[in-house]
Amino acid sequence: MINPNDPTLKSWIAVDKDSDFPIQNLPFGIFKREGKLPRAGIAIGDYVVDLAEAALTGYFRELHVNLQIFEHNHLNPVIGMGKEKCRMLRQIISELLRHDNPELRDRPDIQKRVIHHRSSVEMLLPVRIGDYTDFYSSIDHATNIGKMLRDPDNALLPNWKHLPVAYHGRASSICVSGHNFHRPKGQMKPPDADQPVFGPTKALDFELETAFIIGTPTQMGDSVTTSAADQFIFGMVLFNDWSARDIQAWEYVPLGPFLAKNFASTISPWIITLDALEPFRVEGYTQSPAVLPYLHYTGNRNLDIQLEVIIQPEKGEPTCVTRSNYRYMYWTMEQQLAHHTVNGCNIQVGDMMASGTISGPTPESFGSMMELTWRGSKPLKLKDGSERKYIDNGDTVIIRGHAEKNGVRIGFGECKATVLPAKN
């Protein structure tokens, strides 16, 4: 068996060297062609492999699964096959696409059904997300927010280095990249006012995040250990946790985020498997004080994933406003999942757990406008000459991410959405 991550692998499908989707990636998504029903696919270069058609062609016989799982409008039944079968599926596709395998390469008649150009398909939300949790695991982000909103000398709250802080968010307003939304309205209390006011948010922000998707369920009462956590994680996406800072500042005490967050969130359409990301493991943050035993982990568990955010004004040129990296996370995914389940909380296939805003240590690497403009006190200048404290109507915010090593680039595609004016 070949290793699907092997950097020397090449496909008979031409893949641009800057593509996010070389043969070593093979991420999973749900796509729709005009006039057809949604189905599961795997991306390669500018193309998508139609898994439902590949199944009908007989390529997946050795999986011994009901082949209708590829004809749903979400990946839950595919991911629900379990990690081993998903791994086999990625392996089968990798072999089918290898430059020296004639099986599909030399069959243009079958290719017509199984391979579609990505420009001819619409990407849908990849999973039906049952539950969504957002962590708060970047130490630079938590420190920046603590400095701005609380005490510059004691920015981190006493629990922060002992547990990965999180809140439960709203799953049903998570949309796939390209789905635009209206500026949220709400209640806020300007600093100089003595009564709250109502209106469209004046401080709409992005949060640069990633999220992981659960691939294996647990029963209530069960806990996932840090060493077993990878077996429960299918893969990762980019995530924008849109936030209305003025609404948030007024509502968040004592129970945390609510209407400042639940109006919309955006994820990228392709789920990058944890397997494809394995070559990019790096050492984690040095955690001090030492964590409780259930949060211990060994080995290199962080990931070197370069992340960036671009603001594209309605009529201006795009500007990259920040460059960060997933490796700045203080808490690893394994620790987040161990903590999430330590009380016996069950998890289900398709549950999504987001990283929290990923800020780096320098001002150019902060993961939100609130940090980049230091709560609006230092507006950002965009390439078209305009300034931003927060996000304007008509702005498109695009998150991109990729890992790169040994000439292989494992990318995430795009996570983007445009802010429309508030509804009347």
Binding site for Mn ion (CB under 5 A): 134, 207, 241
d(CA 380, CA 388): 5
Residue pointed to by tokens 């096959």? 81
* Residue 141 falls in the annotated catalytic set: yes
Min dist CB 375 to Mn ion, Å, is 17
> Looking at beta carbons only, is 273 or 359 nearer to Mn ion?
359
Task: For residue 335, give every residue at least 6 positions away whose Cβ sits within 8 Å of its Cβ, in sequence order, or none.
Answer: 164, 226, 291, 295, 297
- The distance of closest approach from Cβ of residue 188 to Mn ion in the complex, given in angstroms and rounded to an integer, is 19
Nearer to Mn ion, 166 or 271 (CB): 166
Q: Among candidates 137, 336, 89, which has minimal Cα distance to 232? A: 336
Taking the least distance from each CB to Mn ion, the nearer of 136 and 280 is 136
DSSP-derived pairing of the beta strands 132-135 and 352-354: parallel
Token pair listed for 387:
């300034």
- Cα–chain-centroid distance for residue 64? 30
- What letter does residue 151 receive in the DSSP assignment? -
Beta strands 243-244 and 233-240: pairing type? unpaired
Q: How far is the CB of 401 from Mn ion (least distance, A)?
A: 16
**Helices (DSSP H) in 168-280: which residue ranges?**
245-251, 274-277
Phi, psi of 249 (to 5 degrees): -60, -35
Cα separation, 408 vs 61, in Å, equals 30
Tokens 């924008």 belong to which residue?
240
Nearer to Mn ion, 241 or 371 (CB): 241
Q: How far is the CB of 104 from Mn ion (least distance, A)?
A: 42
d(CA 307, CA 304): 10
Question: Of residues 116, 141, 339, 402, which has the active-site annotation?
Answer: 141
CB of 200 to Mn ion, least distance (A): 21
d(CA 340, CA 275): 22
CB 415 within 8 A of CB 398: yes
In degrees, to the nearest 5, what angle opens at C-alpha 361 toward C-alphas 356 and 364? 90
The smaller minimum CB distance to Mn ion, of residues 24 and 138, is found at 138
CB of 134 to Mn ion, least distance (A): 5
The CA-CA-CA angle for residues 120, 126, 127, to 5°, reads: 155
By beta-carbon proximity to Mn ion, the closer residue of 53 and 207 is: 207
**Could you give the maximum distance between any two Cα atoms of the chain, in Å?**
73
Q: In degrees to the nearest 10, what's the CA dihedral of 15, 16, 17, 20?
A: -80
We find the least distance from the C-beta atom of residue 358 to Mn ion, in angstroms, to be: 10
Nearest residue to Mn ion by CB is 241
Give the catalytic positions in this structure.
141
